[in-house]
A and B are shown apart, each in its own frame.
Chain A
Amino acid sequence: MSAQRIMWLYILTGLAILVLMMLLGITMRMEQAGWLSYDATAFYSLLTLHGVGMLTAVALAGLGTLWYLVSRETALDARIAYLAYAFFIAGVLCVIASVLGHFGALWTMLYPLPFVGASWPGWATGTYLIGNLLVMIGFTLWCVQILAALLQRYGIRGMLGVEYIFRGRTFEAAGRRPPPPQMFAALIVSIDGFLASIAGMAIVIALIVRWADASVELDPLWAKNLTYFFGHSFANLTMYMAVAGVYVGLPLCTKREYHTSRPLVIAWWGTLTFVIFAYFHHLYMDFVQPQGVQFVGEIASYLAAIPVVVVTVYGGVLLVHRSGMRWSMGAMFLYAGMIGWVVGGTGAVLDATIPFNFDLHNTLWVPAHFHTYLLEGVVAFTLGWAFVNLEQRSGAVSPSLIRWVTGTCIFGGGALFLLSFYLAGSSGVPRRVAIEPPPGPAIAAVASIGAIVVLIGLLICLAEGVRLARLPRKETA
């Protein structure tokens, strides 16, 4: 029960932050559409909070899910989960405080921006940096705990599935089984997350030193590399956190098994590697980067898609195909999340193609693809996993009307909201601007309507979740 409580604490906190950040996001799109008016300082402060808040929200939900799933395989100390949670919340509170002080260097805070030409007080910069550091410490704690638990449970060769791949017959003849798929998600998130956090803490600590002593100088390219290594990897890993819910939730919906296969293990080895190197695509337009590194960025970005479309999503589709599955809320969100992942991934791969990036870099195409990935992928998986749990617990499913309404709002409204981003991006409208050049404002108006529809769908969905949670627990034989 304790593990379930921790999972729900993480998921519900994540969803609460998500709704608040969606509200901020909608006001910003409405401001770009000319429907609201506030000054640029407020816009960039809100954009900073929106970025940090959203990533923390989806990460919290995914980390809670994974923590619970790992705890089903091996004992985990709940105190560490609460401590990591406390770091996350303290970090978010610091970021909120910094935003109240008008900090607005955005969540990527590319050096030397937080310090040069800043329109906010120095204490706001320091508070923001400390907030980031606290979030990173919380994430590192989580990674170390999961990594240690997996090592203890399976050993290094076992958790990587090495013997299963290279000595399969002996391995199986001995009656041994590889870890279940969700453990590979936990493993890759904890390894890559740990590496990314080290990079993130290195740059944030360097920035804190610079904040304390203005005579310290950093190399802007070095700072940019570390910033994006952490930022891209953390954002990307939120999907691999959430996908664990698909491995466990979809079999419950289809009454089939999602077992660990050799392609699945090899696919996760690929993900382990490619996620680390994909971040280089954020620096394509830094021509001083060695050209070989730019190639690595493009190759890693392409190859990162293969495990998704050939193994994980493909396996998910096979699980559902001709299973006779009943379309509950949980099943709908889990399956739709896989579609969102593929669609967002398509936008990402196009953006990671260097000649296309030459035109699309830092246009609205970038938020287009990661909003698809996060909203219609990670958030859908989170909702799917939450609803599968509620449906299993109560033995009840939602009325089909509720499913149709929420599905239409979240995916129909989402399509309107997201296509607007893609269209504006392909038309050259810059991202991260309080006032957009044409055709930005007209497109932002359409996007605002789409986003409001999504929010309505999400609120209906959350209300339905509360209704299911209040039903009596299903009696088991």
Chain B
Amino acid sequence: MAEGAIVFVIFVSVAAAAVTLMLLLANAGARKPLPQSIVTARGYAVRRWWFATVLVVAVAAFAATIPRLPYPRADELRSSPHFTVVAQQYSFVLPATVPVNTAIVFDVTSRDVNHGFGIYDPAGHVVGQVQAMPDYVNHLPMRFERPGHYTVRCLEFCGVAHAAMQGAFEVR
């Protein structure tokens, strides 16, 4: 399953649970009102556990992201082959091919305005991206495990022909 689809499923599941729970809490026992003091006392007792749960989830989620950060490590920058990418209104200067199953680094910059270097795999899923900025070079480490034709789309608004700004490279 593509990562985008996984995020969509997580979102729909959490959102559906939240909507259901909040509607249930609003309607449960609606015809048998209780004094606010009783509801508050019960709610405050639960809130401690709710707070602890939310905090633990937040900390765990943060910890889980650390090993999956897309940012380049110093050893990757030293040991991997580098490929230059230059963006400009409204095209990319790209390598024609990059090696499969090899750690590589794209050195991405722009000749004019901000662009986005968004990489789509042969199935059309986004597999990574970085901003292409004038005056800066962003180093994007990638490893392609699937050979084929990869499409590049600009993912930062860059002017009137932004939607048409595309490129491509082969992974072999």
Mostly, the B contact residues are mixed
Q: Are A321 and B128 within 8 A (Cβ)?
A: no
Whose C-beta in chain A lies nearest to the C-beta of B124? A428
Q: By the criterion CB–CB under 8 Å, are B127 and A359 in contact?
A: yes
Task: Output the least CB separation between A209 and chain B (Å).
Answer: 18
Q: Which residues of A contact B113 (CB under 8 A)?
A: 110, 112-113, 116-117
Q: Which of B5, B51, B153 contacts A437 (CB 8 A)?
A: B153
Q: Mark A200-220, 1 if CB is under 8 A from B, else 0.
A: 000000000000000000011
- Given A302-B58, A346-B18, verify A310-B51 contact (CB < 8 Å): yes
Tell me whether A12 is interfacial, beta carbon within 8 Å: no
Q: Taking the complex as formed, is A257 at the interface, i.e. its CB lies under 8 A from any CB of chain B?
A: yes
Find A317's partner among B22, B71, B135, B161 (CB 8 Å cutoff): B22
Q: Which of A91-99, A177-185, A186-194, A337-345 touches B?
A: A337-345
Kindly list chain B residues whose C-beta atoms are within 8 Å of the C-beta of A288.
133, 136-138
Residue A287 CB within 8 A of the other chain: yes
Contact partner, A112, options B54, B124, B134, Cβ 8 Å: B134
| Interchain CA distance A298-B70 in the complex, whole Å | 14
Count class of interface residues, chain B: 35 or more
Q: Is the CB of A318 within 8 A of B43?
A: yes
| Chain B residues, Cβ within 8 Å of A459 | none
Taking the complex as formed, is A397 at the interface, i.e. its CB lies under 8 A from any CB of chain B? no
Q: Is B78 an interface residue, CB under 8 A from the partner? A: no
The residue from A113, A221, A335, A430 contacting B153, defined by CB atoms under 8 A apart: A430
Is the pair B34, A322 in contact by a Cβ cutoff of 8 Å? yes
Give the nearest-CB partner of A288 in chain B.
B136
Interface residues of A in 101-118 (CB under 8 A from B): 104-106, 108, 110, 112-113, 116-118
Determine if B138 and A356 form an interchain contact, defined as CB atoms under 8 angstroms apart.
Answer: no
- Interface size for chain A: under 10, 10 to 19, 20 to 34, or 35 or more residues? 35 or more
**A285 with B25: CB separation less than 8 A:** no
When distances are taken between beta carbons in the complex, the residues of chain A under 8 Å from B162 are 44, 432-433
Contact B65 A432 (CB under 8 A): no
Contacts of A425 in B (CB 8 A): 4
Q: Interface code A419-444, partner B: CB below 8 Å = 1, 0 otherwise? A: 10011011110101111111000000
A320 and B7 contact, Cβ closer than 8 Å, known pairs A302-B61, A358-B129 = no
- Is A19 interfacial (CB 8 A cutoff)? no
Q: Are B112 and A287 in contact (CB under 8 A)?
A: no
Residues in chain B near residue A361, CB distance under 8 A:
116, 129, 155
- The verdict on A286 contacting B131 (CB below 8 Å), with A257-B36, A324-B31 known, is yes
Task: Supply 17 further A-B pairs (C-beta < 8 A) apart from A322-B28, A355-B3, A428-B126.
Answer: A44-B160, A108-B157, A112-B113, A112-B134, A116-B113, A117-B113, A221-B133, A257-B36, A288-B136, A306-B58, A314-B47, A322-B39, A335-B22, A342-B18, A362-B118, A432-B162, A434-B163
Sample (30) of A-B pairs whose CB atoms are under 8 Å apart: A40-B163, A44-B157, A104-B160, A112-B134, A116-B112, A220-B134, A220-B135, A221-B133, A285-B130, A286-B136, A287-B71, A288-B133, A306-B54, A310-B50, A314-B43, A314-B50, A321-B25, A321-B28, A322-B33, A343-B15, A343-B19, A346-B14, A358-B70, A358-B129, A359-B127, A359-B128, A360-B4, A423-B8, A428-B124, A428-B126
Q: Considering the complex of A and B, which 4 residue pairs feature the smallest CB-CB distances, nearest first?
A: A324-B33, A426-B8, A426-B4, A433-B163
